[in-house]
Structure 1
Amino acid sequence: MLFAVLLPFIASIFIPFLARMKNRIHTGIFVTLIPLIVFLYFIQFIGTGFQPVTRSYTWIPSLNMNMNFYLDGLSLLFVLLISGIGTLVAFYSIYYLHKSEQLGNFYVYFLIFMGSMLGVVLSDNVFVLYSFWEFTSLSSFLLIGYWNHRRGSRYGSLKSLLITVFGGLSMLGSLVFMSVITNTTSIQQMIAQKSIILNHEFFPLILGLLLLGAFTKSAQFPFHIWLPDAMEAPTPVSAYLHSATMVKAGIYLVARYIPIFAESEWFFVVVSGFGIITLMWASYMAVRQTDLKGILAFSTISQLGMIMAMLGFGTKAAIFGAVFHILNHATFKGSLFMVAGIVDHETGSRDIRKLGGLMTFMPITATLAVLATFSMAGFPLPFLNGFYSKEMFFGATLEFEATSNALAAYLQQVLPYLAVFGSIFTFVYSMYFFFGTFRGKANVSELPKKPHEAPIGMLISPAILVLGVIVIGLFPELINKPFISHAAASIYGGDVDKHIYFWHGINLPLIMSMAVLAFGTILVLTRTKWEPIYRFIPGPLSMNKVYDGLVKRAETYSEKITKGYMNGSLGRYFRLILSAILIVTFGFMISTGGFTFSMENTAEFTAIELLVAIMMVVAAAGTIVANNRVAAIIILGVVGYGLSILFVIYRAPDLALTQLIVETVTVALFLMTFNHLPKLEVRQQPWSTKALNLIISLGFGTLMTLVAISSHSSKWFESISTYFIENSYKLGGGDNIVNVILVDMRGLDTLFEITVLGIAALGIFGMIKLRKNKKGDV
C-alpha cells in the first residue's frame, strides 16, 4: 500500500527526463501508466468479502507519526476515483496539451497531486493526513497556475491556496485537540474513544475547526469563491481536481469523522445547513455564468453542497445516497468538463453567448454531453445514474427525524422545500449548458475556429465516463453490494443494506422530482424574462469583493508595518532582533523557572584563564572605541583567538582548531573586502539611543551568560556523553570520541556541512574565474 502511495511521487522524479523526449513521444503516455497501475492494484479489493486492510510503516516514532494506512470501503471508493479518473484525465491530456507546452512541469504537478490525494484518503495517522492534505493544496496551486503568463491563472491559484491553506491550518488545530485528549494519532482509535471527544469542553471548537477545513476544501458557502477562479487551469486539471478529487477531500474528511460527530445535533445543523445553502446558492448562480467551465464550476459547488447536506443527516439512507452520488457525480461531471475542453479546443471559445448549434458539427461530443447533462439534471430515465442518487437525496430529506434542538427541528421541516428549490435550478443550468452550446443557431462567424469534431483520442475518456453513467443507471446493483454498500457501511458504522432500483411507485420523492421537472422546464423556457433578477440578487454584493478587500487590506497594513521598521538602518535591525530575543527568552525562562545556578561538576579556573578572559573583555570593549578600520578588525580577532586559547586550556583541541580556522577566515574576509567597508565615522546619536543600546547589550549579554550557566546546571535527563564514551570505539572503531561522533554518530550532519563547504568553494571558484572584458562588462 505504501508503494501505491509513493509511486506517483517516485514517477514524478523521472518526468523531467522523459519530457525531453516529448517531440518523439508525448509525456502523457508514460504518466497514464502510473494511475492505471494504482487502479489495477486496488480494484482487487472490490468484493462482498472485503474487510478493512491496515498497513503500518515507521516514520517518526518518537512523535507518534508513522505511515499508518487504513483501507476500508470509504477509502477504496476514493482511491478508485483518484486512480481511475486520473488514468482517463492523463490520457485525455495527451490530446489536449500540445507538445510545445511545458509538459514536464504539468505532469510533475499532476503526479504529486495524485500521490497526495491517495495519501489523504488512506492515512490513518492524523498528522500524516494533514501533511498530504497540504501537499494537495500546494500541488493544486501549481496546477491552477500552470499557465502562469495569464493574470487569471495567477489570481485563481493564489486564491485557492490562501483559502484552502487557511482551512487546512484550522483543521490541524482540530486534529491536535483530538490527538491530545484521546492520546492517540490514529483516526480509528479516536473513533473508538468518541465519547471522550463528544463530552469534552472544547468539543464545539474541535467540530468548528474540523468543518472549517472541510468546507474550504470542498468549496462550501461562503468559501466557494476559489473554485470558479480555479477554472483558469487547463481543462484536464478542472476535470480531475475540481470534479472528482480535490474538492471531494473535504467530503471525505466529514465522512471519515461522522462516527464521532454524527451524535451531535450541531453537526447536523452546521453541515446540512451549510450544505443546503451551498446547493441553492451555487445552482442559482450557475445560470448567471457565460463561460462553460464557469457553469460547471458552480454546478460542482451545488453538487458538493448536496452531498454535504446528506452527510449531515447522518442517517443510513442519507449516507448511502451521499456515497452513491459521490460516484455518480464523478462520472457525469468529469465527462462534462472534458466536453467543455473539447468545445474550447475545437472552436477556440467557451463563451456560451458565441456558441450554439454545435450538434451539427460535433455530433459525438453532443451525444456525450446530452447523456451527462441530463444525468446531472436528475432526469427520470432508467439509464441515467444521476436520477437514482437525486431521488435518494429527496428521500433522505423526508426521512430525517426531528430533534429536541429547536433550530435542528426547524431545519428538518424546511429541508425538503430547500432541496426542491436547489434541484430546480440544477435542472435549469443543466439545460442551459446543453441547449446553449449544442442546439439553436450556429454562430460560426463569431468563433475563432471553425467547429469540427474532436479526434477520437480526445473522445475516449469522456466516452468511458458516460458509459459509466449508463452502466450504473442500467445495472446499479452490479456495484451496490460489492462496492457502494461497503463504503456506506464504513461511514455509518454498521450494515447498510439498501437496494437501488428505478421505480419505487408513486411516492413523495417522485412527486418532488416531477415538481422539479415542471418548474425547471418553465424557468428554462422563460429564462430571458426572469434573468434580470440577477441585477438585484446578488446585485453588486459578492463574496469575491470581501476576499479581494481582505487581501488588499492585509497587503496595505503589512506594507505599512514593514516600512515602519525596514528603514535600512542595521542598528535598528539589530536592536529589534536582540530585543525580541531578550524579551521572549527571558520571559519564558522566568515563567518556567528555567534559570538555575549550580557549581557542581565545574572546572577550577586559574590566573591564566582569568587573564585571557580579561584580555577578551578589553578587546571586545576596544572594538567600540576604535576609530581605525584595520585596528577594529584586528581587535575583533583578539576576541576569537582568546576563545581558542580557552579551548586549549580546557583540553578541547578540536574546538580550538575549528575556532582558529573560523577566526582566521573571518579576519581574512574582512581584509579582502577592506576597500568596500564603510568608513568609520563618529555619528552623533541622542542619549536615548545610546542608553537603549547599552541596556540591550548588557541585557543580552547577561541573558546569554545565564542561559549558559543554566544549561550546565540543569540536568533534566541523563547526559548522552556516557553513551558516546561507552560505544564510540565499539561502534565506530575510533579512539578519538569527537571524530567518531562527527563521522559516524552524526554522519549526515557532517555530510551536509561538507556539501555546504563544497558549494561555497565552487561559488568562490566561479567568482575567481570571472574576468572583466575590455568594455568593463562581466
Structure 2
Amino acid sequence: MSWVHIMIVLPLLFAVFIPFLYKAFPKIHTGWFVLAVPVVIFGYLASFLPMVASGQTAMLEVPWIPYFDINFDVYVDGLGLIFALIISGIGALVVVYSIFYLSKAREALHNFYVYLMMFMGAMLGVVLSDNMIVLYLFWELTSVSSFLLIAYWYQRKQSRFGAQKAMLITVFGGFSMLAAILMLHNIGGTFSIQELIAQGDVVMQHELFIPAMLLLLLGAFTKSAQFPFHIWLPDAMEAPTPISAYLHSATMVKAGIYLVARYTPIFGGTPEWFWIVTGVGLFTLFWGSINAVKQRDLKALLAFSTISQLGLIMSLLGMGSAALYFGSGDDAAQIHLIAILAAVFHLINHSTFKGSLFMVVGIVDHETGTRDMRKLGGLMSIMPVSFTLALIGSLAMAGLPPFNGFLSKEMFFTGTLNAAQLDIFNVGTYGVMIPIVAWIASIFTFVYSIVLVAKTFFGKYQPERLEKEAHEAPLGMLIPPSILGFFVIAIFFFPNVLYDYVLHPMVNSIAPSIGPSLDYTIEAWHGWDAIELWMTVAVVALGLILFSTLKKWMWMYNNIPQSMHLNNWFSGGIRRMERVSHKIIDFHMTGYIRDYLVYILITFLIIVGGSFFLTNSFSMQSDIGEVNLFEYALAFGLIGAAALVVITRSRLTAVVSVGVLGYVIALFFIILRAPDLALTQLAIETVSVALYLLCFYHLPKLRSREEEQGEKFQPFNFIVALATGTLITLIMLSVNDHRLFESISWYYEDAYELAGAANMVNAILADFRAFDTYLEIFVLAIAALGVFALIRLRLNRRGRDESQ
C-alpha cells in the first residue's frame, strides 16, 4: 500500500480515535487534534504538484478482489490531485474555523469531527480512485457522511428533513451511477476508468453507450445539485455553517463536477453529451441566479448562488467537450478547449470566494444571532473585517476586478461565444441562445452578490431586532476566510502561475486525446474590441438598475403558483408514497406470526414451484430401493406424531409427540445404517424433550377449549401447508435424481484417521466444520442473552409494580 492510499484512509482511521480523544482531554477542543489530519494530507499531496505540472501521472495499485477486477487502484493526475488538494486544504481551514465556531460545552464535538473525517476520507477516495466500484463505494459514503453532517443538529425538525431530502436524492443518483458502471464494465470488460478511456472507440460504438451516459449523468446531476435535483441543497443549509462551507461550496457538490470531468474523455465529443451537460448546466445557472435574488436568509442566498455557480461550471464542461470531436492538432479543438480551462479555473475560484462567503455568513449569524437580512444592516462599522471579506467574496462572485472570479467569468463568456459558433451538433440552430442565457444569468448573479453585501453591512443598524449585540468575530474565526480572501486577490494578479502548475494539468486530464498542446495566457484585459468586455459592462449596468429598483419588481416572485414549486412536488410525492406504504403495511402486517408464515410459504410456492414447473425440473425416476412393512409402519407413526402435535390441546402431549418424531427419525437412521447419526439424534432429542418440559412448566396454562371455539379450521392455511410439504418432497426427490457431481461423503469415511474421532457426526461438527459450528454456537448465545434480557426486564418491571 502506497502513501497515497494511506492518505485516503487516514481520516477514516483517525475517526476511530476521536471519541477517545474527546473524553481524554475534556478541556481541549477536539478540533486541535483533528487539524493535523488535513494538514498532513495536504502537505504530502502537494509534493505531487511538480510531477503533474510536468505532465506525468501515477497509477498505484493495491489488489482487493482481483477475481472480480475490483482493486483499490489510485490514479494521481492533474484532475484528481487538485480536487484532493481542495478537499484537504479547505478541510484544514474548516477545522480551524470550527474550533472557534462550535463550543465544546454545548456541542457533541466528537460526533461532528467523526462525521467530518468520514466525509473527508470518502471525498479523497472519490477523486483518486481509478476503479469504478471503489469509486462508487466512496461515492455512497459521501452521501451517508453528508447525511450525518446535515442532521448534526438532529433535535431540529428542519435539519432532519434536510438530511433526509439530501440522502434520498443523492442515493437515488448513486444507484443510477452504479447501473452505468455495470454497463461500462459490460462494454469494456474492466472497472478501470483509464482502461475505458483507452477503449474510447469501442465504448462509443456499443449499444449501451447512451444508456450508460444518461445514468452516469443522473448520478452527477443529483450530487452537484443540477436542475431539477437542486432542491436538496437549500434545505441542507440547516447544518452548521462549517459544514455548509465545506460540503456545499468546496467539496461534496463538486463531486458531480468531478464525475463529469473524469468521464468526458469517454463520452465527450458526442452531441448527446454536449447538449445534455451544456443545457442542464445553463438552465441550472439561470434558475439558481434568479431564485437567489429573492432569498431573505443569507445561507439560502448562498445556497442558490452555489446552485447557479455549479451550473456555470457544468455548462462549461459541456461546451468544452466539443473539443474532443475535433481531436488533436485541430485549431478548433484548441479554441473550444478554453471552455474546459474556464471550468476548472472557475471551480478553483468558486472554492475560494464561496468558502470565504460561507464563513463570513457564519460569523454574522454567530455574532448577531440571525441570518435574516430584514433584521440586519449597518454592520460595516461594527464588523469591518467581516465586511471586507464579504465584499471581496461578493465582488469575486459577481465577476468584477481585481478578483479571481472576474478572470474565469470572462473566460466563461469566451467559451459561450465560441460554442455559439460551432458548426456541429446542430449548434447553428440553437447555439445563439447559449451566450444569451449565460449573460442574463450573469446579470442576476451580479444582483444577488450586491444584495448580500448591501442588505447585511449597509443601511441602518437595528440592534433591537438582533438576538444579541453585534460585534466582530474572534481572530481565530477570521483567519480561515482571510486566507481564502487572500487567494481570491492573489489569483487575479498571478493567474498564470496557477495555470502552469494546476490548470494546465487538469485540462490535460479532461481532454487527454488532444494532447498537452494548449498554449493559453490568462489576461485580465483583452482590448476594447473584446465582446466579453462589453458583456461585462452591460451586466454591471443592468445589474445596478435592477438592484436599485428591487422593490418594484420583486412582486413577480410572489405570483408563481405554489403548485409550480419543485419542493412542493417532492414533498407531495413523499407524502403520497408514505400513505401508500402505510396502507400496504396495514394490510399485511397483522401481528400474527401465522399470517407472516403464510406469506413466506406462498412466495416460496410461487417462485420455487413455478421455476421447477416452467423448467420441467420435477423428476421421480430414481431407484429408491425396496420399502418393507416395518418402514411403512415407521412412516405412518411419523405422520401420526406430527398430526398429534398440531391438534392436541395438551402441552405434555405435544412435547411427547415431538419426542416421538425425533426417536422415529433415529430409527430410520439405524435402518439406513447410520449409527453415529442415530446416536447423535437420540441424545439431542432426549435433551430437547427435557428442556421443553422444563420451559413449558413455567408457562401460563393454555386457554380452555370453550375459549378456543372462535378459532375455526382454516382450509386455505391447510392447503398452503399441504402444498408446501408436497413441493419440498418433490424437490428432494428431483434433487436426488439430478446428482451432477460425485458425493463428498467419501471424504469423511476416514474420520477416525483424520480427526481421531470415533463418531463421524461429532468429527464433522467439531473438526471438519468447526468454524461453522462455532458461528452457530455464537448465534445461539446471542439468542440466549436476548431471552435472558427480556426475562430480567419483565422481572424488574414486576418488582417495580409490586413496590408501588
Structure 2 length as normaliser, TM-score?
Answer: 0.89
Q: Using the TM superposition, give the Cα deviation of residue 225 of structure 1 relative to its aligned residue in structure 2, in angstroms.
A: 0.6
Equivalent-residue separation in structure 2 for 1:665 and 1:164 (angstroms): 56
Match of 2:461 in 1: 442
| Cα distance in 2, alignment partners of residues 402 and 581 from structure 1 | 60
Q: How many residues align?
A: 771
2:237 equivalent in structure 1: 231
Other structure's SS at 1:70 match: strand
Kindly tell me: are residues 486 and 727 of structure 1, through their superposed partners in 2, closer, same or farther at Cα, counting changes over 3 Å? farther
Question: Of residues 646, 658, 663 in structure 2, which corresponds to 1:624?
Answer: 646
Query: Distance between the aligned counterparts of 1:56 and 1:717, measured in 2?
Result: 39
Shift of 1:576: 1.6
Q: Residue in 1 aligned with 2:113? A: 107
Q: Which amino acid aligns with 2:640?
A: V
Contact (CA 8 Å) 1:153, 1:232: kept in 2 or not? yes
Q: Distance in 1 between matches of 2:510 and 2:756?
A: 56
Question: Could you list the per-position Cα deviations for residues 599-636 of structure 1 after superposition, in whole angstroms to 9, with x for gaps in the alignment?
Answer: 48x89877766654443322222223223233223323
- The change in CA–CA distance for 1:392 and 1:631 in structure 2 (over 3 A counts) is same
Q: Supply the distance in 2 between the matched residues of 1:207 and 1:253 (Cα, whole angstroms).
A: 12
Work out whether 1:188 is the aligned partner of 2:212: no
- Tell me if the contact between 1:283 and 1:302 (Cα under 8 Å) persists in the aligned partners: yes
- 2:241 maps to 1:218: no
Q: Is the 8 A contact 1:728 1:741 kept in 2?
A: no
Shift of 1:736: 8.6
Looking at structure 2, the residues matched to 733 and 371 of structure 1 have their Cα atoms a distance apart, in angstroms, of 82
2:6 is matched with: 3
Amino acid at match of 2:385: I
Return the index of the structure with the highest Cα Rg.
2
Partner Cα distance (2:253, 2:659) in 1:
60
3-state SS of 1:502 partner:
coil
1:573 to 575, 596, 603: 596
Report the CA distance between 1:11 and its aligned residue.
1.0
Q: Structure 2 vs 1, CA of residues 203 and 367 (structure 1 numbering), >3 Å: closer, same or farther?
A: same
Distance in 2 (CA, whole Å) between partners of 1:293 and 1:623 is: 68
Structure 2: distance between partners of 1:722 and 1:190: 48
Q: Which residue of 2 aligns with 1:473?
A: 492
Write the mapping of 1:122-201 to structure 2, written as runs, cut at 5 A.
Answer: 122-201=128-207
1:319 aligns with 2:340: yes
Question: Are 2:208 and 1:202 equivalent residues in the alignment?
Answer: yes
**Residue number in structure 2 paired with 1:702:** 726
Deviation readout 1:299-358 (Å, 9 max, x if unpaired): 100001011111111131111111111111111111111111111111111111111111
Given that residues 655 and 689 in structure 2 are in contact (C-alpha distance below 8 angstroms), is that contact kept between their aligned partners in structure 1?
no
The equivalent of 2:330 in structure 1 is none
Q: Which residue number in structure 2 is paired with residue 484 of structure 1?
A: 503
Tell me, yes or no, if the aligned pair for 2:751 and 2:763 is still in contact at 8 Å. Answer: no
User: Matched residues in 2 for 1:83 and 1:734: separation?
Assistant: 60
C-alpha distance in 1 between matches for 2:539 and 2:748 = 77
Asked if the contact 2:651–2:696 (Cα under 8 Å) also holds between the matched residues in 1, the reply is: no
d(CA) in 2 for partners of 1:727, 1:129: 48
Residues 686 and 743 from structure 1, CA distance in 2 versus in 1: closer, same or farther, beyond 3 angstroms?
A: closer
Instruction: Flag the 1:561–1:80 CA change in 2: closer, same or farther, 3 A.
Output: same
Deviation at 1:172, TM superposition (A): 1.3
8 Å CA contact 1:68–1:125 kept in 2: the answer is yes
SS at match of 1:568: coil
Structure 1 equivalent of residue 252 of structure 2: 246
- Could you give the per-residue CA deviations for residues 152-181 of structure 1, whole angstroms, max 9, x where no partner exists? 101111111111111111111111122123
Q: Which runs of 5+ in 1 are unaligned?
A: none
Q: Is the CA contact (8 Å cut-off) linking 2:676 and 2:760 kept in structure 1? A: no
Are 1:15 and 2:22 matched, yes or no? no
SS, match of residue 72 in structure 2: strand
Structure 2 unpaired stretches of 5+: 324-336
Q: CA deviation at 1:592?
A: 5.1
The aligned counterpart of 1:633 is 655
Cα deviation for residue 556 of structure 1 reads 0.5
Alpha-carbon distance between aligned partners in 2 of 1:362 and 1:117, rounded to the nearest angstrom: 34
Q: What is the TM-score when the length of structure 1 is the normalising length?
A: 0.92
**SS of the residue 2:107 aligns to:** coil
Q: RMSD of the TM alignment (CA)? A: 3.0
Question: Aligned partners of 1:722, 1:33: CA distance in 2, in Å?
Answer: 60
| 8 Å CA contact retained: 2:463, 2:469 | yes
Amino acid at match of 2:719: I
Contact map agreement 2:659 2:685 (CA 8 A) in 1:
no
Q: Residues of 1 paired with 2:383 and 2:475: CA distance?
A: 12
What corresponds to 2:331 in structure 1? none
**Bigger mean CA offset, 101-110 vs 609-618:** 609-618
Q: CA shift at 1:749, angstroms?
A: 4.7
Alpha-carbon distance, 1:267 to partner: 1.2
With over 3 angstroms needed to count, the CA separation of the structure-2 counterparts of 1:685 and 1:541, relative to structure 1, is same
Which residue of structure 1 lines up, in the alignment, with residue 333 of structure 2? none
Q: Structure 1's 320 and 724: CA in aligned 2 closer, same or farther, altered over 3 A?
A: farther
- Matched-pair contact (CA < 8 Å) for 2:187–2:208: no
Q: Give the alignment of 1:713-752 within 5 angstroms.
A: 713-714=737-738, 749-750=772-773, 752=775
AA partner of residue 564 (structure 1): F
Q: Structure 2: how far apart are the matches of 1:122 and 1:658?
A: 59
- Other-structure match for 1:279: 285
Letter of the aligned partner of 2:150 in structure 1?
I
Instruction: Pick closer, same or farther for the CA change 1:444–1:682 going to 2, 3 Å.
Output: closer
Distance in 1 of aligned mates of 2:437 and 2:237: 28
Counterpart mapping for 1:381-392 below 5 A: 381=402, 384-392=403-411
Paired with 1:459 and 1:651, the residues of 2 have a C-alpha distance of 82
The 1-side partners of 2:87 and 2:768 are apart by 42
Q: Which amino acid aligns with 2:655?
A: I
Q: CA deviation at 1:698?
A: 2.3
Q: For residues 158 and 482 of structure 1, do their structure 2 counterparts lie closer, same or farther at Cα, with a shift above 3 Å needed?
A: same
Q: Which residue type is aligned with residue 554 of structure 1?
A: M
Between the aligned residues of both structures, percent identity stands at: 47
Q: Does 2:501 match 1:501? A: no
Q: Does 1:340 align with 2:343?
A: no
Equivalent residue, structure 2, for 1:120: 126
Confirm whether residue 693 of structure 1 aligns to residue 734 of structure 2. Answer: no
1:394–1:416: 8 Å Cα contact kept in structure 2? Answer: yes
